[in-house]
Amino acid sequence: MKITNAKVIVCSPGRNFVTLKIETDQGLHGIGDATLNGRELAVASYLEDHVAPLLLNSDPRRIEDTWQRLYRGAYWRRGPVTMSAIAAVDTALWDIKGKMANMPVYELLGGASRDGVMVYGHANGSGIEHTTDEVGKYVSLGYKAIRVQSGIPGVHGAYGVGRGQMYYEPADGLMPTETIWDTAAYLRFAPKLFERVREVHGSEIHLLHDVHHRLTPIEAGRLGKSLEPFDLFWMEDCTPAENQEGFRLVRNHTTTPLAVGEVFNSIHDCRTLIEEQLIDFIRATVVHAGGITHLRQIANLAALYQVRTGSHGATDLSPACMGAALNFDLWVPNFGIQEYMRHTPETDEVFPHAYSFSDGYLHPGDEPGIGVDIDEDLAAKYPYSAKQLPIARLKDGSMWNW
């Protein structure tokens, strides 16, 4: 069996996506997501110029060997561009193998460990009352877990607050939108928000919150402590994680569960965090962390330390990533939760998929492979449109972490 074509498809049905489609001499094809928000064309070129020529005529059944060849063979290891490109190849090959076996990928991984994948949705609003109402909408849609983000008085462009409620998308301009960050205002505000949400919606629903890398470790410890009475499912990205040891300080000050890892691309980014049990949930996902093959290694390491998975699932990860992630989630023994931000109807049309939502859970469906395809003709109607993620500055103009 041979790979006959590896095609990179860049499209923008509401937002940009990079997709790799691998075709074989047996008529089967597979797809993989390669989207890196705001830096899409770097991965497209990496795949088109440097990876596709290596794939031609090679055996698509050799998933592990292909992964090793692309990782070791580049000489330059890791990094989001490289690992997203490897992920796209890996996902497409798992998709092909599933189609060869006539089985969904979760069956190849070891079979279902659960009946469905608990997901969390995003409720956000302009202030405490609006956000609390939005949480109510997700409760009535059947969600068991909800991420809560709110506008903050005095903070211009607080993270996670959309312009429309359904399809929050931060990458929005040719030049980055500038937001202003105020840590003190945020630390005063956050406990009041969660106090109100618990008051109105009770203690059953799982509540999550994303700090989006804005605090120092000691500030994060203080926030976690102030949120303890409201029993969060997790506090996410409370401080930048390049310095994994920094989480020791956070951990020493709070029992609020911690989630980290949406920007990680390798097991080496989270080894200390996991081995020292400094986090509770690892957020690495298929597309940015080297595909199913590498994510499986991360999850296996995490399982040794009772760290559970909680994969990134924002709208900048395409349905191809979601399909692969859901197959992974249905199997992975140490599953925690999966993020689920609904895609626009245009995106859903370009990527026909077998996964479905019911009563707070997603199921990957039972189509062979990852259960997601791409309609190339439709994709061609939505050409690439350059967009940047926002940036954050402090009130005095200093750059901060967005």
Binding interface with ligand GCO (CB under 6 A): 37, 170, 210, 212, 262, 312, 314, 316, 339, 389
Q: Which of residues 210-229 bind Mg ion (CB under 5 A)?
A: 210
Query: Could you tell which of ligand GCO, Mg ion, none binds residue 280, using a CB distance below 5 to 8 A set by kind?
Result: none
Stretch that binds Mg ion, among 21-29, 64-72, 156-164, 205-213 (CB under 5 A): 205-213
For residue 335, give the nearest of 172, 122, 112, 158 by alpha carbon. Answer: 112
Q: Buried b / exposed e across 114-141, counting CB within 10 Å, b at 16+?
A: eebbbbbbbbbbeebeebbebbeebbee
Cβ closer to ligand GCO: 32 or 261? 261
CB atoms within 10 A of CB 5: 13
Q: Which amino acid is at 211?
A: V
Residue 129 DSSP symbol = H
Stretch that binds Mg ion, among 71-79, 85-93, 206-214, 243-251 (CB under 5 A): 206-214
Q: Is 159 a catalytic residue?
A: yes
Angstrom distance (rounded) from CA 223 to CA 239: 11
Query: What would the two tokens of residue 366 be?
Result: 């039972």
CB 10 within 8 A of CB 18: yes
Cβ closer to ligand GCO: 170 or 371? 170
SS (H, E, C) 89-108: HHHHHHHHHHHHHCCEHHHH
CA angle 369, 373, 378 (to 5 degrees): 175
CB 314 within 8 A of CB 62: no
Q: How far is the CB of 105 from Mg ion (least distance, A)?
A: 25
Q: How far is the CB of 61 from ligand GCO (least distance, A)?
A: 33
Cβ closer to ligand GCO: 37 or 254? 37
Residue the block writes with tokens 């937002």: 15
Query: What would the two tokens of residue 55 be?
Result: 């794939």
Angstrom distance (rounded) from CA 188 to CA 4: 58
Q: How far is the CB of 275 from ligand GCO (least distance, A)?
A: 24
Q: How far is the CB of 222 from ligand GCO (least distance, A)?
A: 21
Cβ-based burial of 111 (10 A; exposed 0-12, middle 13-18, buried ≥19)? exposed
Angstrom distance (rounded) from CA 160 to CA 400: 16
CB 318 within 8 A of CB 341: no
Cβ closer to ligand GCO: 70 or 270? 270
Contacting residues for 140 by C-beta, under 8 A, at least 6 apart = none
Cβ closer to Mg ion: 264 or 331? 264
Cβ closer to ligand GCO: 196 or 212? 212
Q: Which of residues 246-275 bind Mg ion (CB under 5 A)?
A: 262
**Interaction of residue 280 with Mg ion, rule CB under 5 A:** no
Size of the site for Mg ion (CB under 5 A): 2
Q: Report which residue's Cβ sits closest to Mg ion.
A: 210
Query: Could you tell which of Mg ion, ligand GCO, none binds residue 316, using a CB distance below 5 to 8 A set by kind?
Result: ligand GCO
Contacting residues for 68 by C-beta, under 8 A, at least 6 apart = none
Q: How far is the CB of 368 from ligand GCO (least distance, A)?
A: 29
Chain-centroid distance, C-alpha 239: 18
Q: Is 212 a catalytic residue?
A: yes
Q: How far is the CB of 316 from ligand GCO (least distance, A)?
A: 4
37 phi and psi angles, rounded to 5 deg: -50, 125
Of the residues 71, 159, 355, 361, only one is catalytic, namely 159
Cβ closer to ligand GCO: 240 or 352? 240
Query: Could you tell which of ligand GCO, Mg ion, none binds residue 48, using a CB distance below 5 to 8 A set by kind?
Result: none
Of the residues 209, 212, 312, 353, only one is catalytic, namely 212
Q: How far is the CB of 227 from ligand GCO (least distance, A)?
A: 17
For the annotated catalytic residues, the residue numbers are: 159, 212
Residues that bind Mg ion (CB under 5 A): 210, 262
